[in-house]
């Protein structure tokens, strides 16, 4: 990506077109959703009508709660109209990273995962995943999530994946907050 553009733009550029309304989740100056629309032909829509959502601003403290609740989740007959979020984060890894103070340890289960896998994400608040869990509770309605780190690492978390625990790690790796 050119300088000044978060890597979260890349899946938007690759996967949106005339048939996929797009919107920015946070309205942050880092998200150039209009430019994505010019390049791919995707129409820029209101949050609740958009299918692909650009969240270009990694925000460790922002819960995004209102914005997430405003997303289209689809319906039981049309689950495909649930939104996909391209969420910028700082790091993604399967090992604890360099900055454990701002890292979440996620444990994922669900279709396609043999038992459970653990991943570490920095640049998002634990509350973000609580909102996501609520939005995905009434399957098949829900949202799909693509996390993109600035180094290009990517993790796609479909609505069928259950995040069974989110733990904020500390420098000594002691759990501070856990849910579920």
Give the residues lining the site for other proteins (CB under 8 A): 16-19, 38, 40-41
Length of the chain equals 180
User: Which C-beta is closer to other proteins: that of 17 or that of 94?
Assistant: 17
> Within its chain, how far is the Cα of 150 from the centroid?
14
Q: How far is the CB of 31 from other proteins (least distance, A)?
A: 20
Q: How far is the CB of 33 from other proteins (least distance, A)?
A: 16
What is the 8-class DSSP label of residue 66? Answer: H
User: Which C-beta is closer to other proteins: that of 16 or that of 161?
Assistant: 16
Q: How far is the CB of 44 from other proteins (least distance, A)?
A: 14
User: Which C-beta is closer to other proteins: that of 19 or that of 98?
Assistant: 19
φ, ψ at 17 (rounded to 5°): -155, -165
φ, ψ at 157 (rounded to 5°): -120, 95
Between CA 22 and CA 44 the distance in angstroms is 5
């Amino acid at each position: 990506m050119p300088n000044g553009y978060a890597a979260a733009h890349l899946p938007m550029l690759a996967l949106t077109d005339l048939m996929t309304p797009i919107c920015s989740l946070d309205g942050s100056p880092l998200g150039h959703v209009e430019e994505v629309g010019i390049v791919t032909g995707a129409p820029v829509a209101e949050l609740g009508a958009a299918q692909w959502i650009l969240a270009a601003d990694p925000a460790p403290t922002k819960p995004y709660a209102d914005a997430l609740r405003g997303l289209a989740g689809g319906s039981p007959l049309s689950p495909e109209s649930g939104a996909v979020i391209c969420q910028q984060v700082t790091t993604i890894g399967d090992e604890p990273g360099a900055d454990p103070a701002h890292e979440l340890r996620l444990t994922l289960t669900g279709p396609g995962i043999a038992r459970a896998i653990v991943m570490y994400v920095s640049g998002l608040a634990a509350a973000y995943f609580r909102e996501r869990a609520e939005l995905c509770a009434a399957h098949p309605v829900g949202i799909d999530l693509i996390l993109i780190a600035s180094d290009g690492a990517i993790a796609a978390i479909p609505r069928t994946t259950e995040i069974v625990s989110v733990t904020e790690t500390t420098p000594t790796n002691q759990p501070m907050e856990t849910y579920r």
